[in-house]
Structure 1
């Protein structure tokens, strides 16, 4: 598994993580869109 795949995202997006209590979510952030794109959720 390529754990650094996000570094070479073809769309040039960034990832960010939100963590609160037992919930963790990972999102793609694309400056051209107003809403982040969810990638992963655990909680």
Structure 2
């Protein structure tokens, strides 16, 4: 694997991690996201 591939994979991983954190925070688990201090929504 070349260094460029490693960098690209790290960037993709960062994007996916950020998206997952936002999704988790938006579904009411209360976990903070990098998008900002979102208030967890109550589901059900």
Using the size of structure 1 for normalisation, the TM-score is 0.20
- The structure richer in strand per residue is 1
- The structure richer in helix per residue is 2
Using the size of structure 2 for normalisation, the TM-score is 0.20
Larger-gyration structure (1/2): 2
